[in-house]
Each structure stands twice: as C-alpha cells, then as structure tokens.
Amino acid sequence: MKKNPSTDNVENVLSEINTLLSALDTQVHKSELPERVVQALETTKARLVEISADVKNKAQQLAQSTDSYVRGRPWQAVGTAAAAGLLIGVLSARR
C-alpha cells in the first residue's frame, strides 16, 4: 500500500520531536528545562501518533468500501471513471 504524503509529514514531525527530546536529554538536565516545554512536546507527540493512527484507519476503511462498491457494481464504476476522465480531459483542453 502506498504511503500518504500527510502520513509522511506526521512521521517526519514525530522523528523531529524524538530527536529534539533525545538532544535535550543528553545535552541539558531536564531540571534545567522548563517542564512545560518538555510536557508540551510529549503531549504533541502523543497526539500526532493518535492522529496518524486515525488517518490510517479511515484511509483503510475508505479503500475497503471503495473496493466493495466497485466489486458490487463494476459497470457503474467503469462508467463513473469514464465520465470523470472525460470531464478532466475537457477541462484540461480548455486551458
């Protein structure tokens, strides 16, 4: 399954947060840092993990429902795809 660009972005942010937290742990004692900054980063990290999981689940559900629809109505799906292709072709030809 192809990765979603937004999932990559979330993973990049999580990686940066992990790197920052690791750097803070090794370079500065936590007692010297404002506790709210560390807590905010950890809260943000946890929330991004939740959002990433939600987005992944919803994308999988959408893919499954689309697959079920297409398998149940193959000719209707072909007609819809052809109409969408025609519309895109007409719109791109106008430019």
Alpha-carbon distance of 14 to 7, in angstroms, equals: 11
Alpha-carbon distance of 50 to 2, in angstroms, equals: 20
Q: What is the DSSP letter of 28?
A: S
Of the candidates 5, 2, 7, the residue with the CA atom closest to the CA atom of residue 52: 7
Average pLDDT along the chain, 95 residues, taken 10 residues at a time? 62 76 64 69 83 90 92 92 94 85
Give the CA distances from residue 85 to residues 75, 88, 90, in Å, rounded to whole numbers and listed in that order.
Answer: 15, 5, 9
Q: Are 36 and 63 in contact (CB under 8 A)?
A: no
- pLDDT of amino acid 45: 82
- pLDDT of amino acid 75: 93
pTM higher than the cut 0.75: no
